[in-house]
Amino acid sequence: MDNQSASVLDEKSVRSRELGDRLETVSTGATRRGFLERVGLAAVGTAVGATVPFSSGQPLNGLISPAHAQDAKAEKPAAEAAANGPQKLNMPGKDSGLVVLGDKPLVAETPEHLLDDDTTPTSKLFIRNNGTPPEMPADLDGWKLVIDGEVNAPLEITLGEMKKKAKPVTHRMMLECGGNGRSFYSPPAKGNQWTNGGAGCPEWTGIPLSELLKAVGVKDSAVYTAHYGADTHLSGDASKVTLSRGVPIAKAMDEHTLLTWAMNGEPLPAIHGGPLRLVAPGWAASASHKWLTKITIRDKEHDGPGMTGTSYRTPIKPMIPGGKADLANFKVLESMPVRSIISNPMNGAKLAAGTREIPLRGAAWAGDLAVSKVDVSVDYGVSWSQMTLAKPTNKFDWTRWTGSVKLPSDGYYELWVRATDSNGAMQPHVAPNWNPSGYGGNPFHRIAVLVG
């Protein structure tokens, strides 16, 4: 089945065409906080002149299905989004299906159906900037990196020298924005309203950061790294640091934490941090610093921009949704939570009458952990079908999965997918552990399909 599943809605039925329009709106992501948010199940049944299978199993109250949501507070924004549609990215070398979430700085996510490749093409990888990107030098190999701080022998090295210093490695590894899933929180959390599209899994080429850390001699007093890049603050003030995150020394020394200069076999594009980027896979992508110029080894947890307050930090003890944050109750966001997506069929697919089995494809990932299981439900979670998992190419690769589900009749269906990590943690029904910046929102991915 291809992503553009054929429309077989009855063209003689105005009401059916109206529902088809709503489903198309869903497939383009126009209703950012969920599909068919303004259409109750009764309305769906009326529109298609048919039943809604498994409607008796529809969750209520705190587990409201996206097809049954009637949140009055979201009515106006959802209506405006449906009228205006999502803003699509227009950038050379990038897929036109990416959805712009912000333009100052540039932020764009990838709809789930575009994440259907085993290796995420550069054209389909999400974009998250924090400041104004630097201009690329004519001599990329002349780009310099400084390593200083709690080391025995501070180092300044060019990219060209780095390429010669050790044998490059190539790994397919996850990159995921810390705010991925933010739009699923209620009340809304501040920041770009990501759905599941702030993620991708390209191939990265470079050398382990540990090679250079061993060369400079990290002192016993070393606790954390501090990363700095060449982008400038949005205010234009050159004295302000745009973002400076870091990781514990153990993560920095992991063999998969790479200093990278190539993506998918090509020089690392400027929009993705070229000519030199750190990749700390499995953790919030803000720790994978773009346009990297300096790494300082510190004797305490780093406290640069993006490391304090509620920035890239989550509550230790659950807080009241929408409540005031007690900063003493927050810790640094590290490994990202388990998440899964359905990448085929696409959200809003319309399938031929009589279709009784739907082949499925998707992906799942779990930060530092592995994915142990992926299940799909067509009856609002009453029953689940286990999918088949492909073997990852290396640690931090996502897990591609395939399978199929059977349907009892024509009608409107919601397909739910959930993944379980190697520690037994399973995706929840709703975004868990509300926090002001909306980190960790990993509920089931749900798509709508209409059969016949």
pLDDT band per the 50, 70, 90 thresholds, residue 45: low
Q: Is the pLDDT score of 69 beyond 90? A: no
What is the average per-residue pLDDT within 70-74?
34
Q: Is the pLDDT score of 86 beyond 70? A: yes
CB contact burial 152-181 (16+ within 10 A = b; e otherwise): eeebebbbeebeeeeebebbbbbbbbbbbb
SS3 per-residue string spanning the chain: CCCCCCCCCCCCCHHHHHHHHHHHHHHCCCCCCCCCCCCCHHHHHHHHCCCCCCHHHCCCHHHCCHHHCCCHHHHHHHHHHHHHCCCECCCCCCCCCCEEEEECCEEEECCHHHCCCCCCCHHHCCEECCCECCCCCCCHHHCEEEEEECECCCEEEEHHHHHHHCCCEEEECCEECCCCCHHHCCCCCCCCCCCCCCEECCEEEEEEHHHHHHHHCECCCCCEEEEEECCECCCCCCCCCCCCCCCEHHHHCCCCCEEEEEECCEECCHHHCCCCEEECCCEEHHHCCCCEEEEEEECCCCCCCCCCCCCCEEECCCCCCCCCCCHHHEEECCECCCEEEEEECCCCEEECCCCCEEEEEEEEEECCECEEEEEEECCCCCCCEECEECCCCCCCCCEEEEEEEECCCCEEEEEEEEEEECCCCECCCCCCCCCCCCCCCCCCEEEEEEEC
**Given this model, what pLDDT does residue 46 score?**
52
What is the average per-residue pLDDT within 407-414?
97
Backbone angles phi, psi at 384, to 5 degrees: -135, 145
How is the chain split into domains, by residue range? 14-86+337-451, 122-308
The reply to whether 122-308 shares the fold of 14-86+337-451 is no
Closest CA to 63 of 319, 314, 429: 429
What is the average per-residue pLDDT within 419-443?
98
> Which amino acid type is present at position 84?
N
Closest CA to 138 of 278, 291, 277, 275: 275
Q: Dump pLDDT digits (tens) for 155-187.
A: 999 999 999 988 999 999 999 999 999 999 999
Give the neighbor-by-neighbor strand order of the sheet with 106-109.
99-103, 106-109, 127-128
Cis previous bond, 208, omega within 30: no
Of 7-21, 270-284, 344-358, 360-374, the poorest mean pLDDT is in 7-21
What is the average per-residue pLDDT within 325-351?
97
Q: Is the pLDDT score of 102 beyond 80? A: yes
Q: Is the pLDDT score of 36 beyond 80? A: no
**Given this model, what pLDDT does residue 165 score?**
83
- Rounded Cα–Cα distance for residues 157 and 166 (Å): 13
pLDDT band per the 50, 70, 90 thresholds, residue 51: low
Q: Dump pLDDT digits (tens) for 129-162.
A: 999 999 999 999 999 999 999 999 999 999 999 9
**Given this model, what pLDDT does residue 419 score?**
99
pLDDT band per the 50, 70, 90 thresholds, residue 353: very high
What is the average per-residue pLDDT within 437-443?
98
Q: Is the pLDDT score of 50 beyond 60? A: no
What CATH class is the domain 122-308? alpha beta
What tokens were used for 351?
Answer: 């399938």
What is the average per-residue pLDDT within 283-305?
98
Residue 56 burial (CB < 10 Å; 0-12/13-18/19+)?
A: exposed
Of 11-15, 146-150, 337-341, 365-369, the poorest mean pLDDT is in 11-15
Residue appearing with tokens 């397909």: 415
**Given this model, what pLDDT does residue 85 score?**
74
What is the average per-residue pLDDT within 184-206?
98
Q: In this structure, is the dihedral angle defined by the CA atoms of residues 36, 39, 41 and 43, taken in order, positive or negative? A: negative
pLDDT band per the 50, 70, 90 thresholds, residue 52: confident
Q: What is the CATH number of domain 14-86+337-451?
A: 2.60.40.650
What is the average per-residue pLDDT within 64-90?
53
CA atoms within 13 A on the CB side of 379: 13
Q: Dump pLDDT digits (tens) for 208-254.
A: 999 999 999 999 999 999 999 999 999 999 999 999 999 999 999 99
pLDDT band per the 50, 70, 90 thresholds, residue 84: low
Q: Is the pLDDT score of 14 beyond 60? A: no
Q: Is the pLDDT score of 452 beyond 50? A: yes
Of 72-76, 137-141, 216-220, 273-277, the poorest mean pLDDT is in 72-76
Residue appearing with tokens 């097809």: 67
**Given this model, what pLDDT does residue 9 score?**
34
